[in-house]
A and B are shown apart, each in its own frame.
Chain A
Amino acid sequence: NAGVTQTPKFRVLKTGQSMTLLCAQDMNHEYMYWYRQDPGMGLRLIHYSVGEGTTAKGEVPDGYNVSRLKKQNFLLGLESAAPSQTSVYFCASSWTSGSQFFGPGTRLTVL
């Protein structure tokens, strides 16, 4: 099992560009999450999903959109990137009663 994978691992964008981060899990988990991690801020929840076709806002959803068209995939979109979105992005997934498993992270820099 690959567990939770994220694509890409690194990305550099210019202000105003758009991109999509892909998260995939092969553990048949119902729940998936997107976090951002900034120095000294810990992990902050952006959006999450409790099942295929569902999404919900987390702590810091502004400037991001998500989609969960397939159970195994959770996409995070940035429509118009801003320097404040420079961060490390982690995806995670969990079963209904289990702990969260994290992906390796995506390091995004917005110039």
Chain B
Amino acid sequence: GENVEQHPSTLSVQEGDSAVIKCTYSDSASNYFPWYKQELGKRPQLIIDIRSNVGEKKDQRIAVTLNKTAKHFSLHITETQPEDSAVYFCAASKASYDKVIFGPGTSLSVIP
């Protein structure tokens, strides 16, 4: 079955710097890659997603890139703010409605 790895497990950045989280997946049939943000004690919430027919997608300070050949995708957050501090999960599935396999998460801390 699908396996999703995520690095780093923890990340600390200064406010205003960029943060990058990288994920790899094992199933070449996967074609939907969402990213979720989970603040402490809260539920996960989708922040951005990308499908296999797109190499890059941006939404304000957040961008995701996908390399299908290498089976890896990355989340980029620019101009980080303290409210970006949270756990970020990458995930992969064969369709947006199919079962989604999550990575173990990255705990991001933005230091004011």
Which of A's residues lie within 8 Å of B, judged by CB?
30-31, 33, 35, 40-45, 48, 50, 56, 58-59, 90, 94-105
| B2: nearest chain-A partner, CB-CB | A59
- For the complex, would chain B's binding face be called helix, strand, loop or mixed by DSSP majority? loop
In whole angstroms, what is the CA distance A96 to B34 when docked?
A: 15
Task: Specify which of B9, B44, B101 is in contact with A90 (CB 8 Å cutoff).
Answer: B44
**29 A–B pairs (Cβ distance < 8 Å), ordered by A:** A31-B97, A33-B100, A40-B9, A40-B104, A40-B105, A42-B6, A42-B104, A42-B105, A43-B44, A43-B89, A43-B102, A44-B102, A45-B99, A48-B99, A59-B101, A90-B43, A90-B44, A94-B96, A95-B97, A96-B97, A97-B96, A97-B97, A98-B97, A99-B34, A99-B46, A99-B49, A100-B100, A104-B43, A105-B43
Task: Kindly state whether residue B1 has any CB partner on chain A within 8 Å.
Answer: yes
CB distance from B57 to the nearest CB of A (A): 13
Residues of B22-49 at the interface with A, using a CB-CB cut-off of 8 Å, are: 34, 42-46, 49
Chain A-chain B contacts (Cβ-Cβ < 8 Å), number: 53
Neighbour of B46 across the interface among A43, A100, A103, CB < 8 A: A100
Within 66-87 of B, Cβ neighbours of A (below 8 Å) are at: none
How many residues of B are counted as interface, with CB atoms below 8 angstroms from the partner's CB atoms? 20
Q: How far is the CA of A30 from the CA of B95 in the complex (A)?
A: 14
Distance between B66 CB and nearest chain A CB, rounded to angstroms: 16
From B1, B34, B43, B103, residue with most partner A Cβ within 10 Å: B43
Q: List 12 additional A-B contacts (Cβ < 8 Å) besides A43-B89, A105-B43.
A: A40-B9, A42-B104, A42-B105, A43-B44, A43-B102, A45-B101, A48-B99, A90-B43, A94-B96, A94-B97, A97-B97, A99-B49
